[in-house]
Amino acid sequence: GAVVSQHPSRVICKSGTSVKIECRSLDFQATTMFWYRQFPKQSLMLMATSNEGSKATYEQGVEKDKFLINHASLTLSTLTVTSAHPEDSSFYICSARSLGGYQETQYFGPGTRLLVL
Amino acid sequence: GDSVTQMEGPVTLSEEAFLTINCTYTATGYPSLFWYVQYPGEGLQLLLKATKADDKGSNKGFEATYRKETTSFHLEKGSVQASDSAVYFCALRNAGNMLTFGGGTRLMVKP
| ∠ Cα A105 A11 B85 (to 5°) | 50
pLDDT in 10s for each residue of chain B, 111 residues? 889 999 888 999 999 999 999 999 999 888 999 999 988 878 788 999 999 999 999 999 999 999 999 999 999 999 999 999 999 999 999 877 788 999 899 999 998
Residue of B nearest to A104 (CA): B46
What pLDDT digit, counting tens, does each position of A7-18 carry?
999 999 999 999
Label residue A43 by pLDDT band (50, 70, 90). Answer: confident
Give contacts of B103 with chain A, Cβ < 8 Å.
41-43
Residue A56 has pLDDT above 80, yes or no: yes
Contacts of B73 by beta carbon, 8 Å cutoff, 6+ apart: B23, B24, B25, B33, B35, B50, B64, B65, B66, B67, B90
DSSP state of B9: S
Give contacts of A1 with chain B, Cβ < 8 Å.
45
What is the maximal distance between C-alpha atoms in chain B? 42
Closest Cβ opposite residue A46 in set B41, B49, B98 = B98
What pLDDT digit, counting tens, does each position of A22-39 carry?
999 998 888 889 999 987
Percent of chain A with pLDDT over 90: 66
